[in-house]
Amino acid sequence: MLKPSDRDQWEADRPAGSDAARERQSREELRDLLLATAREILTEEGIQTASSNLTFKRVFDRVERQTGRSVTNASVIRRIWDNMADFQTDVLVSIAQDEQRPEVNQTLEGLGQVLEASDLSTVESRRQTLQELCRVGGEVSVSVTSDSTLWSAWISVLAIATTAPDSDQRERMIGGLLRGFDSVAGFWEGTFTGLFRYLGFRVREPRTLRQFTEAVVAWSEGQSIRQRVSGQASRLSLPTGPDGGLQEWTLFGVGLEALTLQFFEPDPDFVPPPPTAAAR
């Protein structure tokens, strides 16, 4: 959230001198400020039909309230963006390629609790840990994505990108989405590398970790869209608890476990850590 104290970080609309470099820097700073403010609005409200809540006036008014800086159409039109549609596209592209997903940290926190209680001393105990990670991870993922306004905005961008009548706008947003896909997949690929190595599993050849990551991300996105429409996550009870007791699973968690069993196998060269290290 921008604060009144931020006003000193932004220069006036027109630099005091005529130096081209300073003027370009001023435009870039103003562009960053307006994009950040527009993203705040969409994060709080979501994307309304035809981006009706994403107008110059809404963004300018918010900037003035938060920083005391007055911005006008003359400050941005043909200086930063050709028109409001061009501005809206830039905002949507920035959301499309965003790699800072708040739900990621919450999901990792939930998995961390399972790992703290994990037993890695045998292949069977490692399989049980992996199964519990899928169950808990599925539940946490469903919960955090359903509450994420940023995720809702991202899904809206996805819909707009595939239906926008303007080909240039569509291509720019699709490009942003592809960069976002790559960034998110890269993050999870690195995370899965450490996780499965810690658990003592390796990728089944000829499959690859990248393929697994892309499958999980696609499965997560599809389930999240379905949940947005239905208003609830599909669940079922399975005898996976201690002594065969029933535990509640999300459909996403069941699919996640199926993917892990297809892509991973116990690593025969794995050396379990000392019990005290595994318990930490």
Would you kindly state where each structural domain of the chain is located, as residue ranges? 4-96, 102-279
Instruction: Please report which confidence band the pLDDT of residue 95 belongs to, taking 50, 70 and 90 as the band edges.
Output: confident
Q: Is residue 5 scored above 70 in pLDDT? A: no
Q: What is the pLDDT of residue 127?
A: 97
102-279 has CATH 1.10.150 classification: no
> Average pLDDT, whole number, for the chain?
84
Q: What is the pLDDT of residue 276?
A: 53
Q: What is the mean pLDDT of residues 222-246?
A: 89
CB 188 within 8 A of CB 247: no
Q: Is residue 150 scored above 50 in pLDDT? A: yes
Q: Which of 70-84, 157-171, 239-253 bottoms out in mean pLDDT, i.e. has the lowest?
A: 157-171
Q: What is the pLDDT of residue 151?
A: 72
Instruction: Please report which confidence band the pLDDT of residue 231 belongs to, taking 50, 70 and 90 as the band edges.
Output: confident
Instruction: Please report which confidence band the pLDDT of residue 11 belongs to, taking 50, 70 and 90 as the band edges.
Output: very low
Q: Which of 40-54, 96-110, 119-133 bottoms out in mean pLDDT, i.e. has the lowest?
A: 96-110
Q: Which of 26-30, 48-52, 226-230 bottoms out in mean pLDDT, i.e. has the lowest?
A: 48-52
pLDDT in tens, 49-85: 556 678 999 999 999 999 999 999 999 999 999 998 8
Q: What is the mean pLDDT of residues 31-50?
A: 84
Q: Is residue 152 scored above 90 in pLDDT? A: no
Q: What is the pLDDT of residue 45?
A: 80
Q: What is the pLDDT of residue 261?
A: 97
More confident residue, 231 or 269: 269
Q: What is the pLDDT of residue 161?
A: 81
The rounded percent of the chain whose pLDDT value lies above 70 is 83
CB 92 within 8 A of CB 176: yes
Q: What is the pLDDT of residue 162?
A: 82
The rounded percent of the chain whose pLDDT value lies above 90 is 44
Q: What is the pLDDT of residue 165?
A: 80
Q: What is the pLDDT of residue 153?
A: 76
Q: What is the pLDDT of residue 102?
A: 57
Q: What is the pLDDT of residue 124?
A: 96
Which residues face 202 on adjacent strands? Answer: 265
Q: What is the pLDDT of residue 208?
A: 98
